[in-house]
Structure 1
């Protein structure tokens, strides 16, 4: 069974020289979402997003408190976890925040070193280093807190050959819709409270050795009604990128404020996943019922004047609502789903990079106006 990491090289080149990068990170190991119904959530991600069954933990594996379904597509692994009884930390998290990301697990060579180095630099411990074993070997795990109730786990799996982690068994099903071309996690965006962005920028720089790639202020990210500010942090090899948003003063309630109200605090706003063919991927997602934000057709009247020549025909991009932006390195194509949970909180971005290393600054105004139209319908603008 593929784990999604076989083709990743351990010798990863550092591409951002400013990153202190004392903490070697090989990539995103997995994301764990606490959800109210893991079985149904797994079915949704398989059906709508093209994930495949990978692993399971629950009553049948001796887990009496909660059950988890793991789904995989290329290098992306989602763990969907629900409580099996009342009064659990998982259940409280869902009560407080709704469905959302609890764990961003990072693949490392040495989980104990990663824990010690981050804690001595000021991280709050979440999980002291421990070793989990089964017939397939051992995995070492540790963890620290980050913004809100989100945590980072450090996963060392070089001595493990199992399907996912000890405590999980292979999950085999007859229902596995075809993948849709999602490759890996490109970046994960966190929303934090008023005036907290720089605090968490400093956290990722000091505690984890990241560098700041880009900064956007309320002049860059604003409409006639709402505004926000954002800074993008990355580790040295660029495998892990965390944009961090905070609200800014505007005439009405911004998307970040709406998120903070409904999530009841800071957390992961959206997960950006990469594809090599965004037209094929998004077409498949539409066919499977995924809903996307749409910008006005007038966006496409002038977009090529702004971004220049691209390889793709403009018409299918227009029909699907895919946005285009360019930086000094190339261009990118991106689109954003509507929130996929009952609360207007977490959503997904689908992104195809054609050289660009940026995050679509030229699309911010059109995108946020589209979000505002959704907020107006919800009565939360």
Structure 2
């Protein structure tokens, strides 16, 4: 392992219309705009919900043929120094400016203890760096960062050290509201952190991606199911569903003493999931992502919520559209009983398309299982939030379950497929 990751600092999105996405994040998803930065070539807007932070980057149309002045090779000096103010004309975005043809989620920023050491160690084993270690400062202090290109499509990782910075976000950003004010805002959407990030990848690339993250960042395998094959991952290959899921998580050093909000005061995990389609099962949403996005990339992000019913209801009333599973999901044999035994009302879940999946108790000899004994999760997917059928969000509430709703995959798959088939027909009709 060449770099020790502490936690996710933020996730960057590069879009053509920041205003529309900003309105959606605030009005529909109940995030708070808390910091902004304007440069001569781009605009950056930072949105927060507890520990979940999105950084939206909009590329200025009049500078589409200009590139950010960052080195394009590995002949870097040890450090670059950039001083920025509240409204900066600086060159750096804590990322790279993307000329990507469609809206995309392209950077997962990690906090690290030592950017320079990480840079040297990663470069030594052949990593492709887009930005060398760079020092940025303002009145709040100093931040050091660099940007490494990942093995997955256009996804990059900014490595950042803000241990010497006392500001609310990053140098150069104008902070609009302080954290205490943000915490008092809309409590109907109790999102606390990023639960997982899912990559859509081409077939037979999972093992390569896994090895890259293991070697460079110390990621380790997370088994979605106890019967999952080590090499094959979690595979569903039936009833028109051809899907392979493989999960991994980054190892956090216990001595760092990181504290983030979580229900049991444990540092929240953010797992990474690799999704690829299987042959001979027809076209599916992974293939659709790869085609419309133009490369592998981030397909969806799971937002952890402490109360998915309240969160989904508030978002739905604000205009968020969720995928709905087939109506028979809530009445099929065993599912209604499963939901009721977990202490939920099937009709209440059905109103917002929320799915429930339980984990069998470790002690199968228990004669009677109570609600308190059952481990389960609740989840629901939004429809794509970009104009293409690429990126979407997931709400997830965990009650002891650590997987990704293996029992729900078929229902989720069918609901997404139905939506995409409907969109395809509408598109065809419009062309005719």
Per the shorter chain, which TM-score range?
0.7 to 0.9
Query: For residue 232 of structure 1, what is the aligned residue in structure 2?
Result: 247
Q: Does 1:184 align with 2:193?
A: yes
Q: Does 1:161 align with 2:166?
A: yes
Question: How many aligned residue pairs are there?
Answer: 356
Q: Does 1:74 align with 2:34?
A: no
Query: For residue 206 of structure 2, what is the aligned residue in structure 1?
Result: 197
Deviation at 1:239, TM superposition (A): 2.5
Measure the CA separation in 2 of the matches of 1:35 and 1:22.
32
Long gaps (5+) in structure 2: 69-95, 253-267, 362-374
Measure the CA separation in 2 of the matches of 1:226 and 1:290.
27
* TM-score scaled by length of structure 2: 0.76
Which of residues 416, 423, 428 in structure 2 aligns to 1:371?
Answer: 416
Measure the CA separation in 2 of the matches of 1:314 and 1:348.
23
Q: Given the superposition, is the C-alpha separation of residues 160 and 92 from structure 1 closer, same or farther in structure 2, using an over 3 Å criterion?
A: closer
Q: Given the superposition, is the C-alpha separation of residues 178 and 362 from structure 1 closer, same or farther in structure 2, using an over 3 Å criterion?
A: same
Contact 1:32–1:78, Cα closer than 8 Å, also in 2: yes
* TM-score scaled by length of structure 1: 0.86
Higher radius of gyration, 1 or 2? 2
Contact 1:68–1:79, Cα closer than 8 Å, also in 2: yes
Query: For residue 148 of structure 2, what is the aligned residue in structure 1?
Result: 144
Per-residue displacement from partner, 1:290-341 (whole Å, max 9, x unpaired)?
A: 0111012221223255578213333311221111112357211110011111
Query: For residue 394 of structure 2, what is the aligned residue in structure 1?
Result: 349
Per-residue displacement from partner, 1:154-176 (whole Å, max 9, x unpaired)?
A: 11111111232112112369x99
Deviation at 1:230, TM superposition (A): 1.7
Measure the CA separation in 1 of the matches of 2:116 and 2:347.
51
Give 1:254-269 correspondences, 5 Å limit: 254-269=284-299
Deviation at 1:214, TM superposition (A): 2.3
SS in 2 for 1:104: strand
SS in 1 for 2:411: helix
Q: Given the superposition, is the C-alpha separation of residues 247 and 66 from structure 1 closer, same or farther in structure 2, using an over 3 Å criterion?
A: same
Which of residues 92, 99, 122 in structure 2 aligns to 1:118?
Answer: 122
Query: For residue 381 of structure 2, what is the aligned residue in structure 1?
Result: 336
Query: For residue 277 of structure 1, what is the aligned residue in structure 2?
Result: 307
Measure the CA separation in 2 of the matches of 1:230 and 1:89.
36
Q: Given the superposition, is the C-alpha separation of residues 355 and 56 from structure 1 closer, same or farther in structure 2, using an over 3 Å criterion?
A: same
Query: For residue 10 of structure 1, what is the aligned residue in structure 2?
Result: none
Contact 1:103–1:150, Cα closer than 8 Å, also in 2: yes
Query: Is 142-151 or 207-216 further displaced after alignment?
Result: 207-216
Measure the CA separation in 1 of the matches of 2:326 and 2:419.
13
Contact 2:59–2:97, Cα closer than 8 Å, also in 1: no
Per-residue displacement from partner, 1:180-235 (whole Å, max 9, x unpaired)?
A: 21110011001112221111011111111111112666983345334121210111
Per-residue displacement from partner, 1:126-174 (whole Å, max 9, x unpaired)?
A: 222111111110111122111111101111111111232112112369x
Q: Given the superposition, is the C-alpha separation of residues 310 and 200 from structure 1 closer, same or farther in structure 2, using an over 3 Å criterion?
A: same
Contact 2:339–2:345, Cα closer than 8 Å, also in 1: no
Measure the CA separation in 2 of the matches of 1:163 and 1:286.
30
Give 1:231-250 correspondences, 5 Å limit: 231-237=246-252, 239-250=269-280
Measure the CA separation in 1 of the matches of 2:67 and 2:243.
32
SS in 2 for 1:274: strand
Deviation at 1:100, TM superposition (A): 1.5
Q: Does 1:87 align with 2:117?
A: no
Measure the CA separation in 2 of the matches of 1:244 and 1:332.
20
Per-residue displacement from partner, 1:27-81 (whole Å, max 9, x unpaired)?
A: 21001100111133212100011111211111xxxx1010111111111111111
Contact 1:125–1:143, Cα closer than 8 Å, also in 2: yes
Query: For residue 348 of structure 2, what is the aligned residue in structure 1?
Result: 316
Q: Does 1:33 align with 2:13?
A: yes
SS in 2 for 1:159: strand
Q: Given the superposition, is the C-alpha separation of residues 233 and 219 from structure 1 closer, same or farther in structure 2, using an over 3 Å criterion?
A: closer
SS in 2 for 1:157: strand
SS in 2 for 1:281: helix
Measure the CA separation in 1 of the matches of 2:233 and 2:330.
24
Q: Given the superposition, is the C-alpha separation of residues 89 and 231 from structure 1 closer, same or farther in structure 2, using an over 3 Å criterion?
A: farther
Give 1:208-219 correspondences, 5 Å limit: 208-214=217-223
Q: Given the superposition, is the C-alpha separation of residues 88 and 305 from structure 1 closer, same or farther in structure 2, using an over 3 Å criterion?
A: farther
